[in-house]
Amino acid sequence: MNLRIAIFDDNKNIRESISLLLRTVPNFQVVGTFSHVLDCVDDVKECNPDIILMDIEMPGMTGIEAVKVIKGQLPHVQILMQTVFEDDDRVFDSICAGASGYILKNHLNTKLIDAIKELQFGGSPMSPSIARKVLNKMQSVSSAIKPEEAPDYHLTPREKEVLSCLVNGLSYKMIAADLYISYETVRSHVKKIYEKLHVASLTEVVAKAINQRIV
């Protein structure tokens, strides 16, 4: 079974030399090379690659934007960024856009072949410095990854509904109208919420609800 590869790079020499290199590998098949990504979705649909090598700097639209649109329409395609840039912004933007690997252009040849093979078998090849950046980033956003488990305040479903209305800025009246209950019922729920969250004002409720992701 052949591995179908497409290449997006605005530099003709690079396209051709990568193409030549990959053709020497058994089972690798270069099914398309493109100098820009303006028609990338059509191009990709046309040549139907398993893996895409994507440069970043290209005329008209960047490779990062291309990753986003391609993954949006063809999520099964694996995309390997291959670029000279290693600034945080471009690295993380690429990854968030959906790239499955990121290698730098400085040391080509065998590394590239290994990277493609790694990608083929479910890995995510990254140049060493990129991998380090990624791990450091993970650590710096660890609060988003491992949210310290929010205490459970045992809010009832209805109370949670009311709470989320409050967080959306609705007044008691509006909540009453929204949930088809009376103003006084809203008050009852809010009182309960105050008790359960140990707070004494709407602002505290909202702050606590958002910060502890209760909503």
Distances in Å between the alpha carbon of 40 and those of 37, 81, 93, 119, 149? Answer: 5, 15, 18, 21, 43
Q: Does 150 bind its own copies (CB under 8 A)?
A: no
Q: Which two tokens stand for residue 123?
A: 């890995």
Minimum CB separation from its own copies for residue 113, in Å? 15
126 beta partners: 102
Tokens of 168: 């959306």
128 touches its own copies (CB under 8 A) = yes
Does residue 111 touch its own copies according to CB under 8 A?
no
Find the binder of DNA among 71, 105, 189, 208 (CB under 7 A): 189
Among 5, 56, 116, 125, binds its own copies (CB under 8 A): 125
Give the CA count within 13 Å in the CB-facing half-sphere of 201: 3
Q: Residue 20: what residue type? A: L
3-state DSSP call for residue 159?
Answer: helix
Mapped onto helix, strand or coil, the DSSP state of residue 212 is coil
Q: Which is nearer to DNA, 189 or 208 (CB)?
A: 189
Among 76-84, 103-111, 145-153, 185-193, which window interacts with DNA (CB under 7 A)? 185-193
Q: Does 76 bind its own copies (CB under 8 A)?
A: no
Number of residues that bind its own copies (CB under 8 A): 47
Among the candidate windows 15-23, 24-32, 162-170, 187-195, which touches its own copies by CB under 8 A?
162-170
Q: Which of 208, 186, 184 is nearest to 196 (CA)?
A: 208
Binding range to its own copies, per CB under 8 A, among 6-14, 46-54, 153-161, 166-174: 166-174
Spatial distance between the Cα atoms of 168 and 90, rounded to a whole number of angstroms: 34
The bridge status of strand 28-34 relative to strand 51-54 is: unpaired
Residues in region 141-170 near DNA by CB under 7 A: 154, 156-159
Residue 62 in contact with residue 90, Cβ under 8 Å? no
Binding site for its own copies (CB under 8 A): 92-93, 95-96, 98-101, 118, 121-129, 131-132, 134-135, 137-139, 141-146, 166-171, 199-204, 206-207, 210-211
Binding site for DNA (CB under 7 A): 154, 156-159, 171-173, 179, 181-185, 187-191, 194, 200-202
